[in-house]
Structure formats: C-alpha cells, structure tokens
Amino acid sequence: MMSKYRSVTVLLIFWGFMYSSGALAQHSVSFAESGYFNHKPVETQPAYMEEKINLDVDGKPLRTVLSMLEHKLPVQFSYQERVIDNQQRFSGNFERLTLDQILSEIFKETDITYVVVPGGYVVLKKRPVNEGIVQTVITGIITDGNTGEPLPGANVSIAGTTRGSSTDAEGRYRITGMEPGTHTLVVTFIGYEETSREITISEGQETITEDFTLQPAATAMEEMVVIGYGEQERSEITGSISSVDGEQITSGQSTDGVQKALQGRIAGVNVSQKSGQPGSAADVNIRGVASFGNNNPLYVIDGVPVFSGDNPNRNPLATLNPGNIESVEVLKDASAAAIYGARAANGVIIITTKSGRAGEIDLQVDLSGGVSVVTDYLSMMNSEQYVQYSSEAYENAGVALPLSLTEPHLSENLKTDTDWGREGFKSGYSQDFSLSLSGGNEQATYAFSTGYLNEKGNIPSSGFRRYSARINSDFNIGDNFRVGESVEFSRAEWTGVVSPSSTNFKELLQQAPTVPIRCPENLGGFCGPTVERSPQDRNNAIGIWTLTDQENIDNRILGNIYAEYDILSTLTYRVNLNGDFTFGHDNTFTPQYEMGNRSNPTADLSVVKSNTDNYIVESTLTYQNVFNDLHDVTALVGYSQQKSWYEYISGNTTEFPNNNVPTIAASFGQSSLNGSETGWALRSFIGRMNYGYDDKYNLMATIRRDGSSRFGENNRYGIFPSVSANWVVTNESFMDDTDAVSNLTVRASWGQVGSQEIDNFASIATISPYARYIFGESQAVSPGAVYLQLGNNNLQWETTTQKNIGLDISFLDHKLSLAMDYYIKDTEGVLLRVPIPTTSGLRRGNGAFQNAGGLHNEGLEFSADYNNNWGELQYAISGNISANKNEVTSLGNGEPIISEMTNDPNQVLTMTREGDEIGAFYGWVMEGVFVDQADLDNHATQPGAAPGDVKFKDLDGNGVINADDRKVIGSPFPDFSYGLNFNVQYKRFDASIFLQGKQGHQIYNLIWAGLSQGKGSGDNNALTVMLDRWQQPGDVTNVPRVIRGDPNQNVRPSTRFIEDGSYLRLQNVQIGYDLGEVFHLPAFRIYVSGSNLFTLTGYRGLNPEVGTLTSGNQSSLIRGVDFGQYPIPKTVRAGIQVDFN
C-alpha cells in the first residue's frame, strides 16, 4: 500500500511540473479519472487538513477560490479543465474552518467531489452519473447541559469502528465518509456522563446534524476542594475551609502577588500590606495570633511546603507567578489543618497551580503594563519655616545658633527650598507578560507556562523582576498506573530598598530643606549636610538610594514528582518526591562619593551567597469505597520525611581604587569572611478517615504524629488529632417540600495543631567564644567564652486547640449563599524566654526557652454571596466580615513582657501581660500643653517640664508623673475586618469593584513622633503641624514648644501619637471588553484597572495598613507601629488577555 502511495506522489509531482509549464494535461486526466482515486483515503489526515483558516469569498470564480486556498495552505489542486465551470461564482465568509469543511460547503450544490492524497495534493473530479452511494457528513455541537456553553475537546465516535472526531473551540464536530445504514454515535468528555444516540442515514443523504448536551457526572457537578493530601466535595467538608479561584488572584493586580490578592476576600484572614516595595511580602494572620513569634501561615504549593527562610523581609511567594494559580484554599480551623500537624497552628494556605486538560491545545497570552504614583505626602516645613523653627529650638535651650542659622550663610541657605518628600518619590511602572500552553487527551495532559514581570518602584533604584517557567504533565499508563510532575523554575531580583521599614525614609523627610539634592561638582553628583548648610547631619537619602547598587537574587526550583498505582479498584498507593531549592545572591556596593559631612571616601562591598535545600519524601495509601449506595468510606495513611538545610558565606571589604570594579578581589582594604550552616528535619506519620452516610452525615477524623529536630530530646514527638462532622439538613426527607432553602449544612469540629517556628537549636545551650574579660591589676583583656542561652531538653511544641461550629445555607436555587462560623482557639505552651536574674551572669533576655505562655482567641466570621442575571446582564455581589479578640492567659512567672525601641525605659512601646491583648500599646496619657507657669504649678510634679511642654496625666494620683502613670493606651487589632466585591457582565462587557477595610484598631504613629520634635529638635526638619506649636505664655494649643534636647520627653510613648487606624480602601476597579468576535478568536479581552485608588481614613500617616516590625521569637509583640514604611502607590494598569484555542 505505501509503495503505491509513494509512486503516485512522484507522478503527481511530475504532473504538477508539466501543468505549471503549460503542458496541460493528459497526465492529469489519467490520474483524475483513474479508478485509483476511488480508493478510500487513509484515516490519518495530513496536518494541514486539521488547520483552521478564515476565507472571505465574494462572487469569485472557482479557479480563483482554489488559488486563494493554495496561498493559505500547503496544498495544490489537481483537476481537468472540464471538471470546473469557471462561469460559476462562489460567495461565502468561512471563519475558523478546516479545508474539508470549506470544500464541502463550496461543492455541496455542485457535482464536484474531491480526494486528498499524500504529498499535499487535492484531486477534483466529476461525480459519475452512475455513482450509487453518496457518503454522508455528520455534524453537530456538543454543549454543557447546565450552562449551554460549548465543550471543546469532547470525543465523538461511531460505536464499533475507529471513526471519530473531537470538538473544536466552539464545540463543533464533523465526521465524514459515512455510508447509509444505522449507526450509534457515542459522546464522551472527562467530568461528564457518557451519552449515545442511534442514527439512521438514508440513501443519498449528504449531511445529518446531531447536537448533544452532556450532563456533568455526579462526582464532577460538586465543587472539589483541596484539603491536603487529597480533595473532597464541598458538601462533604466538615471543617472551615475557604476558597479563592485563580481569576480573583489575577484580577487586574497581578503584580501584587498571592498574599495581597487574599486581602478582604476571605473572612478570618487578616492581610496587611505594610510596604509598597515591589516584590515585598504582606503580613497574613488567620484567626488572630497563636504565638508570640512567627504567626505566618504554612504555604503549600502543589504539595510542597514553602518558608520565608532566614530573611524575614524576603517574600516566600515572590517567585510564584500568580497567573499559574488555579485555586487557593485556606484551612482555617484545626480539623482542616491538622493533617499538617506541627506546622499548622497559624493556619494553612494551599496553592494549586494550573494543569492540563484533555481537549484541543489551548494557548493563552496575557500582556499588561501600568504606572504607579505616590500621591499622599507628609507636609513638611519649607526653608523659611524650618529656619525659624530651628532657631527657636536653640534659643529655648539657651544654646548658641549654629553657623547655618547665622549670616552670611543664612541668606544663602534660604535660596534653596527642597521638598525632600516629593522629590524622593517618582512615578513607577510595571510590565507583565505570561504565556500558557495546555492540552492533552484521556491518556496524557500537559501544561506549560512562562512569565516575565518587571516592576520599577517609586523610590530611586527600587524594583523587582521575576522570570518564571512552569511545566506539569500527567500520564495514564494503562488502567492502573499514573505518573506526573509539576516543576517551576524561577528567578526573583530585588533592587534598591529591600527592608519594608528603611531608616532612610525617615532620614529623607528629616533632611533640612536648605540642602539641595544635587551638586554636580561633587563625586557622585549629590549634595550633603555641611555646617554652613544645615545644623543637622543627615544622609542625602536620594543620593544613597541612587548611588548604592543593591541587588538580592533568588534562583529557585520548586516542584514535585509523583507516581500512583491502583492496587485494587478501591486501594491506591502514591509516592511523592518534593523539592524546594533556592540559590541566593545578595550584593551591596556603596561607591565612593562626596556628600558633605556624610561623604564616603572608600567604597564598600558586601556579598552573600546562600543555599536553601528542602527535600520531602512522602508515601500514602488511600482506600475508597461505597457500600450499598449509602456508606461512603475513605481512609488515608501515610509517611513523610523532610529535611531542610541552609548555608551561607559572606564577604565584606572596603577601600577600592575606584567605583568601576566592584569585586572583592579588586579591594586593597581589609576583608572579612563569615559563614554558617544550619538545618532541621521532620518525620511524620499521617492518618485520616472520612465517613459519609446517605449524603446526609459526614464525619472526618485526622491524626498526625510529628517528630522535629528543633525540640528537646525529651519531647521530640507530638501527636495532633482532630475530629469534625457535618449534617446536610436539606438532604433529609422532611426538607423535600422546602423549595426556598437550597442547602442547609451544620458543621462542628475540634482539633489540635502545633507550631515548630523556633530557632533550630533553641533547646540547646549555646556558647560564644568571642567574649572578652579583664583580669588582674594590669587590667589585661583576655579572650574567653560565655553562654549565649541556656538549654532546655524538655522544650516542645506550642499546641493550639480549636473548637469551631459553622453553618452554610443557601436560598433561591443557590443564588444566595451564606456562611457563618464561631471559633474558640486556645494556645498552650507558648514559647518564650522567661527572664532570669542578672546575677546568673547572663543577660535577662538570654534565659532558656520555655513552654510557659498561653493565648486565647475567639471570633466570628460571616460571608455572603449573591449571583443572578437580568436577561443578558449577569451580576454578583459578595462580602465578608470577621471579628477576633485575643487575650494573654499565661506568661509563666506572670511578669509582663515589655517591648521598647531603645534601651531607654521611657520608650516602651508595647506591653504584653496576662489578661490583656498581646502587644497592647503602653504609655502615658496626654492631657494637653502647659499654657503657662501657673498651669505647670497646679499640676502634679513632672520632672523636666516647663510651660509649653506636654502635660501628662497623674494616673496613680501620687502627685508625681513617673513610670507608674503609664497604662494600656491602644490596641493594634481591629474590632472587625471586611471586604466587598461587585461584579457585572453584559454580553462581552465586564466590570468589577473591590473594597476592603478594617475598623476599630489603633496605630502608633512613630514616624509622626520622629518628625515632630525630640532630642534632635532644631536640627531635623519637622511636620507643618509644628507651626501651631506653643511659643509664648498664654498660647492654647495641643502642639508643644520646640526645644533642643527635649528635656520633658514630649515625644515619649503616649496618647499623643495613638491614632484611629480604621479605613475603607478601594482596592481595585476593573473594566474589560472581549473583542474575540472581531478577531475571530475565542477571547481577546482588553481591560483597564486601578488599584489603591482612594482610602477613607482619619489616620494622619501615609498608610493605615501597618503590620509587625520584625520576625523572630517575639515578632508579634510589636505590631501596628508606623515606622515610615515604603508608601503604597496608586496604580493604573491596562492589559490584553488572548485565547488562541
């Protein structure tokens, strides 16, 4: 057979040459009319026969139409002149059709037939008059029985034969060459019930149309929820789990990342975007705080747990392309999260990336670009105001004026008026591109995606870039064996300011307006403070940002490989090999520059190389069966072994001959090297049992036993059990006649989870060999060793016990859905360092870690969704609100924990004590400003005070203002948080609005305090609010006088700087329109969106979203303090989303 085809191909090529030379024909006549071409063509069509093209024909002769097709496809038509009638005209607009479809349409009213042969030839011929059998074409559309949407990739076959077809993007199918008789059409599609239909083709019937509507399979109709080591139908969920789909993650704010996208969308999840630094992390707390240390949830990406590592300012999710996300599940209560045991006390966020689906190849491209601007500024004094303010500070202190405030320098300085705040922030921009390709069949599916993000920040040199590529595939090998993988390769680059609370921001605003920004004559081109220009000695922050070359790079490989085997139809064994490998490179080069008193005569270089390796091996055995159509049983047992290892080496050097070669080898100064290695391991045993009865009652029990290397040898293992149940009331017979209620489910759960977020060697006594001691009469300094901390072999987990009851109810055929939850969350054995006497030889803060603390949280959560349509107008409204209260129940020895910014005991910011909230603001109560001496004399004794100073309240009534007059003056925790989302779609137009807010919390405005006055008063620039300051006896104001040294400590922590942090923010607005019909594509959506467009708040700072200060073992004790974080800009973005399926 093949040799015959090859000979025909050669002859056809020769015939084509003769035809093109004008030697018409007898060759073609012999081929076109030979009996050979009546032979049935091979079933496998050439690739060009499957290619879909567009063809617009308007009254053209057939020869022209065929020529147009030859230009669009690699095909050549062979025919005899008598076959075609060149007087006949053809018209038609063919969109996305194959060659077979176009020719069938053109020739349907003619007596022309055609045959495709190998080599790219289509032979036309007249249908013989005596041709007795007409081959029939079967066409139709396959649609979803619920939505009416077409189903691309559905399989349509003729029972008992190998003939068949797959539907295209519009759900159309076509089967050609059918002969008269009775046939059975069979339609299958993954996730839908198989359907079949018997058809009869009559003699001479050319076409027959058969449309099908497929009903979702019973298991596919129910929303599936990822629960950790598996998935479950939404109706069977017994714990508290909330979901967000991938479209919500990327809706107009793709550069903001996963954490920010969750803000305001899930009740009980509190997200604070504390920094506008591109690529920065947000604070995420689920159902309050469960520890004095790290309260970040556990993130699991495609089964791989990820961590922030040793750099708390590095976003652990920055390398993840949000466009790859299929869904995000948040496991909020202990019963849902207990499967992760020792790492689940703060909740679990499971991120599932997109995978391939059976059907045609799907190619999608997303492009977007945007600009960002900072529009909110703190109002600072101009040069004239600053000079008067500064002179007054010196005069009130009785100190001689500095040179810069006296002539002849004063007049010259007033010629410069720099608004440092506005000059320090410029417009930023972003570019985002992603491409995804997916497809497959029932035997194998695949998905590939790649992306690039470039975001330029609003502070000079700050930015973030991400390069990513992800591939995953799944293969069915036979009926019982499946393998697959999901791997992402990414590179994240942070430039410029990396810390979310850089001191340079404060220095930027404190810089004197009499100092210009740029001095071209200086090395580096920037000015700096001098005794002639300014009384203060602050860095030129703009110059530092611009000249310093700071880059932090993470190269990351994150993924898993799995194999799954069905031992029985009810028993499946699965093994996972997971890995998360990060290769970091941090480089900071500070060049030589001249900036007055702040010059840097020698360049400096710091280089850090680091590796973080996480290996996880897991195996599970799952049993699933249904007995008597009533009892649904699923059981899982498993084993997990994880090892994490971190190592780094750093080098620092100085004194470079110039700024051209920033490498350690080029330095001729002293260099230093440092390095460290650390690691931990976790061994786990997992068990879970699910039981369901008659779709009414569901029960789940989970147990996990974890052993961690981080804890004492006496308590290395912990057991974390949970049990939960639900009752689907609407499936009861007594609810059959209740049409108003679509679903009513009651849930209840109890469980215990743990936290191992503590230093790797916290249970071991550690010694430093770098201590120095002074001995003898000579007072010689001798090297020695000293304990850094005491050990504790009994150190164990922080254990959180949580109880939860919930209600899910929906009305109006599921159009209106409500969910409510109430929980109680108690944490025992909270890890803290119990203070020890200094007589021990150790500092008070260097005692051993102990499981001595206790915390209590309880809260309410409520969410509502309404979806409906009015004709072609579809709309959806959703909202949520949640409230949480926490209380410290135990501190071991009961002694409060104070958190201060300096070693000054008068600068305590927060107090954590039994009976109060964790990290409550602590300080004095401001009563006003002393109007005159009489006012001062009639008040309690206040050391250092004078008329014009802040008046503090004598709380204990002893007549003296001292440390005993402090109290809790505010809380960083909101009374409630909420989010509102509105979506509307009309035909191809869509729009959405998303608002989010918090109510009832306070912020300690520390940046405001630093820009008001203080010990540096008279040197640093100040806020214009200080223009209302007290200046002479009789002045009535709430703004105190200015004086160098601040003898009254007017800026001490007090109610003066405690402000209401409540806000409502328009997080995102988006408008889009789909031009797919115009471009003959499934989708060609253009959109424009805006983020952070306005904020309603009474807070005087730049951003009412303030998170925690640091990470570590007591990071939760200082939160809600505004240190002057990187401002969050307003962003406008435009984009295109194209589907080429």
- With beta carbons less than 8 A apart as the criterion, state whether 845 and 832 touch: no
The topology (CATH level 3) of 2-126 is Phage tail protein beta-alpha-beta fold (3.55.50)
pLDDT at 231 over 60: yes
Return the sign of the alpha-carbon dihedral for residues 23, 27, 31, 34. positive
Q: Per-residue pLDDT tens for 687-711?
A: 999 999 999 999 999 999 999 988 8
> Which stretch, 14-23, 405-414, 533-542, has highest mean pLDDT?
405-414
Segment 91-120 shows an average pLDDT of 79
Contacts of 385 (CB under 8 A, 6+ apart): 1024, 1027
Q: Per-residue pLDDT tens for 591-622?
A: 999 999 889 988 899 999 999 999 999 999 99
Counting runs of H as helices and runs of E as strands, what totals does the chain give?
Answer: 15, 54
- The pLDDT value recorded for residue 497 is 63
d(C-alpha 105, C-alpha 98), whole Å: 11
- The pLDDT value recorded for residue 1126 is 86
- The pLDDT value recorded for residue 37 is 38
Q: Per-residue pLDDT tens for 7-60?
A: 333 333 333 433 333 333 333 333 333 333 333 333 445 677 778 888 888 777
pLDDT category at 250 given cuts 50, 70, 90 is confident
Please state, rounded to an integer, the average pLDDT across all residues of the chain.
Answer: 85
What phi-psi label fits residue 706: left (phi over 0), alpha (psi between -120 and 50 degrees) or beta?
beta
More confident residue, 758 or 222: 758
- The pLDDT value recorded for residue 842 is 64
pLDDT at 903 over 60: no
d(C-alpha 462, C-alpha 280), whole Å: 11
d(C-alpha 85, C-alpha 62), whole Å: 7
- The pLDDT value recorded for residue 128 is 59
What is the residue type of 530?
T
Query: What are the DSSP E strand ranges found in 914-1038?
Result: 920-923, 926-929, 950-952, 967-970, 976-986, 989-999, 1002-1004
The DSSP code for 335 is H
17 three-class SS: helix
- With beta carbons less than 8 A apart as the criterion, state whether 490 and 466 touch: yes
- The pLDDT value recorded for residue 1137 is 93
Q: Per-residue pLDDT tens for 1095-1109?
A: 999 999 989 988 765
Q: Which of 505, 275, 354 is nearest to 1109 (CA)?
A: 275
**Fold identical between 2-126 and 136-219?**
no
Segment 211-227 shows an average pLDDT of 73
Return the sign of the alpha-carbon dihedral for residues 36, 41, 47, 53. positive
SS3 assignment for 769-807: EEEEEEECCCCEEEEEEEEEECCCCCCCCEEEEEEEEEE
Structure tokens at 591: 């060049």
Quick one: which H or E segment has residue 29?
helix 26-32
> Which stretch, 279-293, 677-691, 729-743, has highest mean pLDDT?
677-691
- The pLDDT value recorded for residue 23 is 35
Q: Which of 622, 700, 722, 604 is nearest to 659 (CA)?
A: 604
Q: Which of 957, 927, 900 is nearest to 1050 (CA)?
A: 927
Query: Which of these ranges, 79-88, 485-494, 628-637, 961-970, has the smallest mean pLDDT?
Result: 79-88
pLDDT at 1111 over 90: no
Residue extents of the structural domains in the chain? 2-126, 136-219
What phi-psi label fits residue 1138: left (phi over 0), alpha (psi between -120 and 50 degrees) or beta?
beta
d(C-alpha 824, C-alpha 595), whole Å: 57
Query: Which of these ranges, 177-191, 484-498, 1125-1139, has the smallest mean pLDDT?
Result: 177-191
Instruction: End-to-end CA distance of the chain: give it in Å, rounded.
Output: 36
Quick one: which H or E segment has residue 822?
strand 816-833
Quick one: which H or E segment has residue 66?
helix 62-72
Name the CATH architecture for the domain at 136-219.
Sandwich (2.60)
pLDDT at 884 over 50: yes
The DSSP code for 518 is B
Percentage of the residues of the chain whose pLDDT score is greater than 70: 88
Q: Which of 1054, 1060, 1057 is nearest to 1002 (CA)?
A: 1060
- With beta carbons less than 8 A apart as the criterion, state whether 1037 and 929 touch: yes
- The pLDDT value recorded for residue 726 is 96
Query: Which of these ranges, 88-97, 575-584, 1093-1102, has the smallest mean pLDDT?
Result: 88-97
More confident residue, 38 or 1060: 1060
Segment 1078-1087 shows an average pLDDT of 90
pLDDT at 290 over 70: yes
Query: What are the DSSP E strand ranges found in 834-902?
Result: 849-870, 873-891, 897-900
**For the whole model, what pTM was predicted?**
0.79
pLDDT at 1118 over 60: yes
- With beta carbons less than 8 A apart as the criterion, state whether 151 and 132 touch: no
Alpha helices in 285-443 (DSSP H): 334-337, 383-397, 409-413, 420-423
- The pLDDT value recorded for residue 246 is 82
More confident residue, 290 or 928: 928
Q: Per-residue pLDDT tens for 350-400?
A: 999 988 887 778 899 999 999 999 998 999 999 999 999 999 999 999 999
Neighbours of 670 (CB within 10 A): 9
Q: Per-residue pLDDT tens for 984-1031?
A: 999 889 999 999 999 999 999 988 988 987 656 668 899 999 999 999
- With beta carbons less than 8 A apart as the criterion, state whether 384 and 413 touch: no
156 three-class SS: strand
- With beta carbons less than 8 A apart as the criterion, state whether 682 and 658 touch: no
Q: Per-residue pLDDT tens for 303-345?
A: 999 865 444 446 778 888 888 888 999 999 999 999 999 899 9
The DSSP code for 505 is H
pLDDT at 978 over 50: yes
- The pLDDT value recorded for residue 27 is 32
- The pLDDT value recorded for residue 844 is 55
pLDDT category at 564 given cuts 50, 70, 90 is very high
Q: Taking CA 110 as the corner, what is the angle to CA 104 and CA 112, rounded to the nearest 5 degrees?
A: 70
pLDDT at 133 over 60: no
Segment 1117-1123 shows an average pLDDT of 86
Q: Which of 576, 561, 434 is nearest to 486 (CA)?
A: 561
Q: Which of 446, 389, 454 is nearest to 428 (CA)?
A: 454
Query: Which of these ranges, 399-413, 841-855, 1125-1139, has the smallest mean pLDDT?
Result: 841-855
d(C-alpha 1064, C-alpha 998), whole Å: 7
pLDDT at 574 over 90: yes
What phi-psi label fits residue 899: left (phi over 0), alpha (psi between -120 and 50 degrees) or beta?
beta
